[in-house]
Chain A
Amino acid sequence: MIGESPTRSGPFAHAANTVQRIMFMVLLALLPATLFNLYLFGWPAILLFAVTVGACVVAEAACLVLAGKPVSATLSDGSAILTGWLLAMTLPPWAPWWIGVLGAMFAIPLAKQAFGGLGQNLFNPAMVARVALLVSFPVVMTAWVAPHPLFTTGAPTLNEAMTITFAGETPDGVTAATALGYVKTELSRGVPVSESLQEYGRSSALTYAPDLMDLATGFKPGSLGETSAGLILLGGIFLLWRRIITWHIPIMMIGTLFVMGTLFNAFDPTRFAPGFFHILSGSAILGAFFIATDYVTSPVTQKGQLVFGFGVGLLTWVIRTFAGYPEGMAFAVLLMNSLTPIIDQYTRPRMFGRTRKGEPLPVEGQR
């Protein structure tokens, strides 16, 4: 077996990048959208966010102790914080505390540490948790509220927030449907998509005009990560700029979602929502830049990443359009996660001096 040896090979130089730096950059990229949304949804959201992230870190520490692995060294990689953070961003902001804790249990011990810890898990931990919660507690997990920005009238105080988060008592009359959910419900009642889209803004508790701007800025019901697509996109662009992620997965995923939406909308606007609506609603942008791009659970080859992004985009559209759930990003990511190893195997780059099949190039042949 290979081990360390005094005759260790080079190189004796190294890029400045580390796993910690990568995690830190992702958290930094998430920060603007998170802060804005915590402001939008107020104290209950802040409490749930803290509980979820805290539970993930505690769960990770507990698993490391049980496995006899170094605790502080591993915790400092920041991956547990990121998992908790991403999970919190996909939860209804006023959900009770135990949703966050249970989610952390699904995400860390079950989806990550049981596979061997960082780098070993097949499925995205945050998405495993979200899907497990959604399937187990469909009512709680779809109790969305309209934004109640901090320090505005009607926004819950910290005391009221304690009751909402820790006693699970949501005040009457604040729940509202997400855009995707509303359109889906209306369609099942026979209301054409084109009409329900217009109706959506009027029926919601908001006084703002029901246009795409709302979806982009975040003044609409939804989870922390599905409102304000604009700020999430900003974070995504930051990650691209800092070369933490490459364009392959996000562009492919959003592109596929947009193309599918636009094509089918042109074909029948009464049954299919338009492309822009698809990419700006739900957690499409969050999913494209922060979830589908998770290194561990996505392909390592660039061609594989294109296939993966395409798959996530297509499945998200299919689930949103034809399945029982209004939002399909989490399911789409998990389904594609399971294909990652096989995608990697079939999308290996061509080796230098060899054909695609691995045979040496013919001597006289041009490329």
Chain B
Amino acid sequence: MKLFPIRGGIHPQYRKELTGDCAIEALPLPSRLYIPLQQHIGVPAEVLVGEGDLVSKGQVIARRQGQVSVNQHAPTSGRVAAVTEIPAPHPSGLPQPTIVIEPDGADAWGGLAEPITDPFAVDAQTIEARVAECGIVGMGGAGFPSAVKLNLGIRHRIETLLINGAECEPYLTCDDRVMREHADEVIDGARIMAHALNAPKIVVAIEENKPQALAIMTAAAQAHPHLEVVAVPAKYPMGSERHLTLAITGRETPARKLTADLGVVVHNVATARAVHHAVRHGRPLVARVVTVSGQAMRTPKNVEAPIGATVSDLIAFCGGFAQRPERLVQGGPMMGALLPGTDVPVVKSTSGILALTAEEINDRRADPCVRCGSCVAICACGLVPVEIAAHIRHDDLEGAARIGLMDCVSCGSCSWVCPSHIPLVHYFNYAKGALNAQERERRKSERTKTLVVARATRVERIAAQRAANLARKPKVVAATEEVGA
């Protein structure tokens, strides 16, 4: 298959060898599981259970609210110990509503939806409803409800379902292992999604630094002529949805549009596997593979953990720390976020837990910018990070937005390459947050203004009406007043 070049990009130290050859190991059931009501982009789910309730594995314990939201399920059978607030797996560590489950050890499935024996005989709505019911979100890290993305087939003509097995983040090997160990499930899930999207073609894109996954997936794809496994260059951020679409189709997603506008929908390999489980077996998303790695970790592993297991459970399973980690990160080192502690749970979008040493992070005091232009050369989005940062430093956020701040995907390549160690992405995230807050404030005040104006007109109209009524019927003042009020 002919590939298309993407602009810029970097070649970080991948360090995938730490876990690349570690087969997926199941985490023994922890003593408690913590299931946050929000593990996804969108509205939190609503609690259906109370303290003391007995639940079976796979039972819905929180119901989704609206379209952009997903159900939460009991990851194992047991008793609801509490519905409380615990720190979220987010750098802020702010508390969020969470259901705490004490496993009973039986790990017994119950109340599952009927398996769909022939998914290709049912319509798209059935598949989409099942995916929504089973609480599936994008497992590459974004955590966007997958059913919403399967819906895209209704309003757009989808030509290609792109299965993202690039896994361009350093350290992470969870997708690699899923493809190597569960290729058939991934491919089946992909075919089901393509059916739901009415997409005639499936492309599985895998970075060429995963030769075993490529070989196994290619072999598994033999039976399906409309499914192609493609090796893409190992270059960060190849796994970015838009950049992968460009590399595969040669078409560039216009700003503020979706890849679906080009007829392409992108799903992660682990998501495809989750769809297979949901449709073929009626099993909701209650576990995921997490890469536990970093040079501060004693025995890095790929762990299949139930949703709600704490980070400390996984660390203990991997032998604890070999040395005190400088930073504890969830996700990959490029786009991942700091963990506020080890008591936070693994959620549906947790792809990695990294205990990194100072030497791996290689952070240092920022020097002045010497305008070397490295950030410009490597920016995959065609931005001039040095200039955007200069605007932000002078608090000119609108100026930064004019030259593309909001088009930045925060991939982190510019920060990574900067010889002065300037935390450019930190600047950009700060500015994006500040601009979004301003925008919300502006909308709010606009809304208030409309309401005030509406009220004024209403009051005026009523007053005018009253005056007119008064003029017409001077005798029945009291009655009109009541109506007017």
Q: Does A363 contact B (CB under 8 A)?
A: yes
The stretch of B106-114, B142-150, B247-255 in contact with A is B247-255
Q: Does B256 contact A (CB under 8 A)?
A: yes
B109 to chain A, nearest CB (A): 38
For chain B residues 81-126, which have a beta carbon within 8 Å of chain A? 91-92
Q: Does A13 contact B (CB under 8 A)?
A: yes
B329 to chain A: which residues have CB within 8 Å? Answer: 10, 12
B20 to chain A: which residues have CB within 8 Å? Answer: none
Assembled-state Cα–Cα distance A19/B418 (Å): 9
Describe A's contact surface by its main secondary structure.
loop
A118 to chain B: which residues have CB within 8 Å? Answer: 367-368, 370
Describe B's contact surface by its main secondary structure.
loop
For chain A residues 110-163, which have a beta carbon within 8 Å of chain B? 117-120
Q: Does A16 contact B (CB under 8 A)?
A: yes
A308 to chain B, nearest CB (A): 11
Choose from B254, B360, B375, B379 the contact partner of A361 (Cβ within 8 Å).
B254
Contacts A22-B370, A344-B387 known; A8 to B92 CB distance under 8 Å? no
Q: Does B317 contact A (CB under 8 A)?
A: no
Q: For residue A118, which residue of chain B has the nearest CB?
A: B368
Is A348 a contact of B384 with CB atoms below 8 Å? Answer: yes
Assembled-state Cα–Cα distance A354/B7 (Å): 14
Q: Does A207 contact B (CB under 8 A)?
A: no
Is A119 a contact of B335 with CB atoms below 8 Å? Answer: no
Assembled-state Cα–Cα distance A367/B361 (Å): 38
Q: Does B380 contact A (CB under 8 A)?
A: yes
Choose from B254, B403, B431 the contact partner of A348 (Cβ within 8 Å).
B403
Q: Give the bracket for the number of chain B residues in contact with chain A.
A: 35 or more
Q: Does B233 contact A (CB under 8 A)?
A: no
Is A11 a contact of B370 with CB atoms below 8 Å? Answer: no
Is A15 a contact of B373 with CB atoms below 8 Å? Answer: no
B245 to chain A, nearest CB (A): 11
Choose from B334, B360, B372 the contact partner of A10 (Cβ within 8 Å).
B334
For chain B residues 50-70, which have a beta carbon within 8 Å of chain A? none
Q: For residue B404, which residue of chain A has the nearest CB?
A: A351
Is B426 a contact of A367 with CB atoms below 8 Å? Answer: no
Is A10 a contact of B335 with CB atoms below 8 Å? Answer: yes
A240 to chain B, nearest CB (A): 14
Interface flags, B154-165, vs A, CB<8A=1, else 0: 000000000000
Choose from A10, A16, A79, A350 the contact partner of B412 (Cβ within 8 Å).
A10
Interface flags, B407-447, vs A, CB<8A=1, else 0: 10010100111011101011101110000000000000000
A140 to chain B, nearest CB (A): 32
Is B12 a contact of A300 with CB atoms below 8 Å? Answer: no
Interface flags, B189-217, vs A, CB<8A=1, else 0: 00000000000000000000000000000
Q: Does B79 contact A (CB under 8 A)?
A: no
A349 to chain B, nearest CB (A): 4
B374 to chain A, nearest CB (A): 8
B130 to chain A, nearest CB (A): 31
Is A2 a contact of B255 with CB atoms below 8 Å? Answer: no
Is A2 a contact of B427 with CB atoms below 8 Å? Answer: yes
B242 to chain A: which residues have CB within 8 Å? Answer: 352-353
Is B412 a contact of A353 with CB atoms below 8 Å? Answer: no
B455 to chain A: which residues have CB within 8 Å? Answer: none
Q: For residue B14, which residue of chain A has the nearest CB?
A: A13
B354 to chain A: which residues have CB within 8 Å? Answer: 12
Choose from A22, A348, A360 the contact partner of B372 (Cβ within 8 Å).
A22
Q: Does B22 contact A (CB under 8 A)?
A: no
Contacts A9-B429, A351-B383 known; A15 to B370 CB distance under 8 Å? no
Is B407 a contact of A349 with CB atoms below 8 Å? Answer: no
Is A300 a contact of B334 with CB atoms below 8 Å? Answer: no
B266 to chain A, nearest CB (A): 15
Q: Does B462 contact A (CB under 8 A)?
A: no
- The CB with the most chain A CB atoms within 10 A, among B261, B356, B421, is that of B421
Contacts A2-B392, A351-B383, A367-B252 known; A14 to B362 CB distance under 8 Å? yes
A166 to chain B, nearest CB (A): 35
B8 to chain A, nearest CB (A): 9
Assembled-state Cα–Cα distance A7/B370 (Å): 26
A72 to chain B, nearest CB (A): 13
B339 to chain A, nearest CB (A): 11
Is A352 a contact of B380 with CB atoms below 8 Å? Answer: yes
Assembled-state Cα–Cα distance A261/B415 (Å): 42
Contacts A9-B423, A367-B252 known; A77 to B333 CB distance under 8 Å? no
Choose from B253, B262, B377 the contact partner of A246 (Cβ within 8 Å).
B377
Q: Does B257 contact A (CB under 8 A)?
A: yes
Choose from A19, A353, A366 the contact partner of B419 (Cβ within 8 Å).
A19
A68 to chain B: which residues have CB within 8 Å? Answer: none
B393 to chain A: which residues have CB within 8 Å? Answer: 2
B368 to chain A: which residues have CB within 8 Å? Answer: 117-120
Q: Does B319 contact A (CB under 8 A)?
A: no
Q: Does A171 contact B (CB under 8 A)?
A: no
Is B407 a contact of A354 with CB atoms below 8 Å? Answer: yes
Choose from A9, A298, A300, A350 the contact partner of B425 (Cβ within 8 Å).
A9
Q: Does A228 contact B (CB under 8 A)?
A: no
Is A353 a contact of B425 with CB atoms below 8 Å? Answer: no
A347 to chain B, nearest CB (A): 10
B398 to chain A: which residues have CB within 8 Å? Answer: none
Q: Does B382 contact A (CB under 8 A)?
A: yes
Q: Does B221 contact A (CB under 8 A)?
A: no
B333 to chain A: which residues have CB within 8 Å? Answer: 10-13
B410 to chain A: which residues have CB within 8 Å? Answer: 9
A-B contact pairs, 8 of them (CB 8 A): A11-B412, A12-B363, A22-B372, A296-B370, A300-B384, A349-B379, A352-B255, A363-B257
6 cross-chain pairs, A with B, having the tightest CB-CB distances, nearest first: A11-B412, A300-B373, A361-B254, A7-B91, A360-B255, A353-B255
- Other 5 A-B pairs with CB < 8 A, given A12-B338, A119-B371, A360-B255: A19-B420, A350-B382, A352-B242, A353-B407, A360-B257
